[in-house]
Every structure is written in C-alpha cells, then in structure tokens.
Chains A and B, each alone.
Chain A
Amino acid sequence: GAGVSQSPSNKVTEKGKDVELRCDPISGHTALYWYRQSLGQGLEFLIYFQGNSAPDKSGLPSDRFSAERTGGSVSTLTIQRTQQEDSAVYLCASSLLASSNSPLHFGNGTRLTVT
C-alpha cells in the first residue's frame, strides 16, 4: 500500500514568509509524528498526534511553529515568519496505533531552505 506522503518535497522561501508542510499518513495509522533533521544531525522531535489531538507538543521550537491534524488523517505543519535556522528536512512519520510495539514509518520529507 501507499506509504507516508509529504508535500512539497522541496521548499525555498524567503526569510519572514510563512510556510505550510503537509503530511498524509499511511491509511489507518492513528499516530502521527513530526521530526526535524538539520544537515548531518539527528532527528529532533517536534510534535505527536493521536487522532486529531496533540498530547505532546513539547518539541516545537517556538510559537512560530504550529501543527494540526484533521479527520485523523492529514496533518499540516506551519512555520510563521521563517528564519534561516528553520532550514532543515522536516520528516513526518506515522504508526498504526499508540503502542510501544508499533514502529514509525517515515515519509520522504520536505527539504526547507530559508534564504
């Protein structure tokens, strides 16, 4: 079946502009995660959804970052007033349910470049 789909695959924006990144999880997966990966670095947790609610927003770096999920499916990560330090690959992952035995399945990511 289809995997996790993210769009756009690449986004170049000017400093100060807002951007929206989209994630379409694997059908039936109830849990959805956003991570950020800067060049040569590890994965930085941003936010986690169970259904449409976000029990854990602890990783959002600032109030410029927000995310929502509708219909228990598609999620949008919004970055307002982008800064150069926001440049990174934003990865979305989903898992079947909130269980310790459910692994994460990643999308191909959105590469964001802020000029």
Chain B
Amino acid sequence: QKEVEQNSGPLSVPEGAIASLNCTYSDRGSQSFFWYRQYSGKSPELIMSIYSNGDKEDGRFTAQLNKASQYVSLLIRDSQPSDSATYLCAVNYNFNKFYFGSGTKLNVKP
C-alpha cells in the first residue's frame, strides 16, 4: 500500500507570513509530486508540480522535494486570506497511479 501522509491541521498563520506544508510518502519508486488546493465545496486545483530534487518556485509558491528523505513540501510566501483552503499532496507512482494525502487545512488570519 502506497501511503501519502499529511498533517490534517488546521495550520494557522497570520497574513503576510510564510505557510509551510509538509508531506511524506512511503514508496521510493514515486516519480512525480503535485500540490493541489481545494477550497471548501470545490474540486482540487493544481498549483504546483515537482519532479526532481530541490526547489521549484512559481510566484509566491515554492515546492521542495527530497527523495532521499521521501518528503515534499510547499511554502507559501506572503500568505493571504484567500490562500485559506485545504492543500492536498499527490504522488504519482508507476505512471498511472496517483496517491493523495488527506490534506492539510490552512487558515490565514487577517
């Protein structure tokens, strides 16, 4: 069983702070990693993908991958109240299998 673990939260940060979301996965064969944002009552929306070790930046978002330690993280700089949502970590293994974590709820307080 491939597992993807996330702290369910809620993670509360003040507006303007950095939010750090973490995810660990069990299978060393995992090949690609994705972060999705899900607002309450809405479907997941892709915000970041990362495939190789290191950091990948896109605007206020930075994804970090460490395959040796089997973790992937998402940093949100200058957090805004509109970033308040549940963030899902997804891991792709063997091309067609996606495994999702249960999500971390983020609250950004004005």
Indicate the member of B42, B94, B95 with the most A CB atoms within 10 Å.
Answer: B95
In the assembled complex, the CB of A73 is this many whole angstroms from the nearest CB of chain B, namely 18
* Chain A residues within 8 Å of B34, by CB: 103-104
Complex alpha-carbon distance, A35 and B99, angstroms: 11
In the assembled complex, the CB of B34 is this many whole angstroms from the nearest CB of chain A, namely 5
B45 & A106 in contact (Cβ 8 Å cutoff): yes
Closest residue of chain A to B100, judged by CB? A43
Complex alpha-carbon distance, A48 and B92, angstroms: 13
Indicate the member of A50, A98, A106, A108 with the most B CB atoms within 10 Å.
Answer: A106
List residues 59-106 of chain B with CB under 8 A from any CB of chain A: 88, 90, 92-103
Q: Mark A39-83, 1 if CB is under 8 A from B, else 0.
A: 001110100101000011000000000000000000000000000
A108: which of B36, B42, B92, B93 is its contact (CB, 8 Å)? B42
User: Total interface residues on A, using CB and 8 Å?
Assistant: 23
B44: which of A56, A99, A106 is its contact (CB, 8 Å)? A106
Complex alpha-carbon distance, A50 and B97, angstroms: 12
Complex alpha-carbon distance, A49 and B101, angstroms: 22
Complex alpha-carbon distance, A55 and B95, angstroms: 12
Instruction: Determine if A25 is an interface residue (Cβ-Cβ < 8 Å).
Output: no
List B residues at the A interface (Cβ < 8 Å): 31-32, 34, 36, 42-46, 49, 51, 88, 90, 92-103
